[in-house]
Structure 1
Amino acid sequence: MAVQHIIKLVAASFSLFILWVIYLANTGASSSLFQLVAAIPYGDKLGHLLLFGSLSCIVIVASRFYCITLLGKQAYLGAIVVSLFVIAEEFSQAFIATRTFDFTDLLFDAIGIGLSVIVCRKLQQRLDTDQSKTL
């Protein structure tokens, strides 16, 4: 199986995992994952940063670092898609009885996505440099 196919499979699997976590939270279900997060100081915020930062990074790599021009700047489409999903998901919490909208969750989602963009830019530069050496 080609590396790109594996990366896409990882992106799809991680997306499904996050959707499952959101489903559990939306239905008010109990989970050992939630208990673990609650036991860590600022675990909820750290979870937001890590989950959506990781998802963004995986989606950017899976989309082969595809960029679009947005407001005159190059932006990773994967980061934009994850950002739009995060915004919709966080604001939807205002309409779900078992959830509450929390701006700091959105802030930590954004920090995670921002860090993933920085990591992916460095990775892309590294890959471009390595590829130019082999030509």
Structure 2
Amino acid sequence: MRLKWLPFCLLLLLIIGITVGIDVGGLRSVTGWINSVPFGDKFGHLFIIGLLTFLLNYALAGRMVKVGRLKLLLGCMIVAVAMTIEECSQFWIAARTFDLIDLSANYLGVTLAGILWLKTHRV
């Protein structure tokens, strides 16, 4: 039963490691390569955050929460809030730059993952 959390936890650890590496000014060769690909960074945000969201919805078994009249996937809400906080934290990290387009790519990844989850799992 707990194995359903393993893919999410492994990807989350990878994302945390990459984020910390970039925050301290490391990983310049990796970020340089990604930034040399047109929209590479934006597609990276969309894909990684979308995958993280899908895996969290899987781990939470598609748990839904009511927000007003809406029923939303809890995994989508958690990732959206966490990514908003992480992107906004870049205002205070010297090696990073806040980017509204990165944040938008994150939200798009969350949205597409939620749609994919709902299409593939009857909730």
TM over 0.5: yes
Structure 1 alignment gaps of length 5 or more:
129-135
In 2, Cα distance between the equivalents of 1:117 and 1:78? Answer: 8
Tell me the matched-pair count: 123
Percent of residue pairs identical: 28
Write the mapping of 1:27-106 to structure 2, written as runs, cut at 5 A.
27-30=24-27, 32-106=29-103
Q: Is the 8 A contact 2:45 2:105 kept in 1?
A: yes
Consecutive unaligned residues in structure 2, runs of 5 or more: none
Aligned-pair CA distance for 1:35: 3.9
CA distance in 2, matches of 1:16, 1:106: 20
Q: What secondary structure is seen at the aligned counterpart in 2 of 1:68?
A: strand
Alignment check: 8 A CA contact 2:22 2:28 kept: no
- Whether contact under 8 Å (2:8, 2:55) holds in the other structure is yes
Deviations 1:32-82 (A, max 9, x none): 542441232110000110111110000001100000001211111111110
TM-score normalised over the length of structure 1: 0.85
Which range moves more in the overlay, 25-34 or 76-85? 25-34
The Cα of 1:123 is off from its aligned counterpart by: 1.2
Does residue 13 (structure 1) correspond to residue 7 (structure 2)? The answer is no
Deviation string 1:2-43 (CA, Å, 9 cap, x unpaired) is xx4332111111111110111011011025542441232110
| 1:118 maps to 2:115 | yes
* Runs of 4+ deviating beyond 4 Å: none
Counterpart of 1:68 in structure 2: which amino acid?
A: V
**What is the alpha-carbon distance in structure 2 between the residues aligned to residue 39 and residue 87 of structure 1?**
25
- Aligned residue type for 2:6: L
> Between Structure 1 and Structure 2, whose CA radius of gyration is higher?
1
Match of 2:19? 22
Tell me the TM-score normalized by structure 2. 0.93
CA distance in 1, matches of 2:84, 2:121: 26
